[in-house]
Amino acid sequence: MKGYYARKVHSLLGVIPLSLFLIEHAITNYAAFDGGQEGFRKAVHTLNDLPLVFFLELFAIWLPLLFHGVYGLYIAYQAQPNLGHFKTERNWRFILQRVSGVIAFVFIVWHVYSTRFQITLGNTTHDELGGFMHNIVTQPGFFVFFLVGVIATTFHFANGVWAFLVSWGITVGPRAQRISSYACLGLFVIVTALFMLSLFAFRGEEFADTASAITTLKTMIG
């Protein structure tokens, strides 16, 4: 899979659905900060009450993520970084887009394994997710991993939207590309803030859940 159309599909999937899903995810999680345990539970329920949720997940998240992620790793591998000789902001962003993509890949695989996949395995339920998260993010090592993973992903998303606007010929001149840089920076700040608030909320005592969640977590990370 090489060439123009593969790359266009990769680019489109980055925005529709992946970026849209990331924004949705940030808003759902924000419910943990805004509405606490109950608010988060409700938000999760609303999502899972969507019709055909299995197919939605499959076609709007898993398959696009798989294609964009694997093809993205290939694109990242193809670059030959030369930041040493070209220390410009755009060249930094070029490198960071690739580095953050790789970090996001590792982070998302782990994150999906430790949450969504545990539900599939029956080790936890949608209702227990809040407590589940609490047990993860109260461990300093995992919390730092989470912070790095989230920031890498939100950077990748925001800078990706900027690149998307260029690769589809929407922002053509230097002025348009500068203005969209600021807009995407704003997007980065807002979405990162939403995730951060929820991460810190999950650390709160309110989310400390039943002992069952803790034991599941223990079996999960061995």
Partner 1 sequence: MAETTTVPQTSQNTARRVKFVITRQDTPETKPYTEEFDLPYRPGMNVISALMEIQRNPVNANGGSTAPVCWESNCLEEVCGACSMVINGKPRQACSALVDQLEQPIRVAPMATFPVVRDLVIDRSRMFNALKKVKAWIPIDGTYDLGPGPRMPEKKRQWAYELSKCMTCGVCLEACPNVNDKTDFIGPAALSQVRLFNAHPTGEMNADDRLDTLMEGSDGIEGCGNSQNCVRACPKGIPLTTSIAELNKQTTKRMFKRWFAQ
Q: Single out the segment in contact with ligand HEM by CB under 6 A; choices: 95-103, 141-149, 169-177, 191-199.
A: 95-103
Write out the binding residues for partner 1, residues 183-222 only, by CB under 8 A.
none
Contact map string, positions 145 to 174, toward ligand HEM, x by CB under 6 A: --------x--xx--xx-xx--x-------
Contact map string, positions 92 to 131, toward partner 1, x by CB under 8 A: -xxx-x----------------------------------
Q: Nearest Cα to 27, choosing from 12, 14, 13, 40?
A: 40
# binding residues, partner 1 (CB under 8 A): 35
Kindly state whether residue 85 participates in binding partner 1, applying the rule CB under 8 A: yes
> Which partner, partner 1, ligand HEM, none, binds residue 187 by CB below 5 to 8 Å per kind?
none
Kindly state whether residue 64 participates in binding ligand HEM, applying the rule CB under 6 A: no
Closer CB to ligand HEM, 190 or 208, in the complex: 190
Q: Which residues bind partner 1 (CB under 8 A)?
A: 2-8, 75, 77-82, 84-86, 88, 90-91, 93-95, 97, 163, 166-174, 177
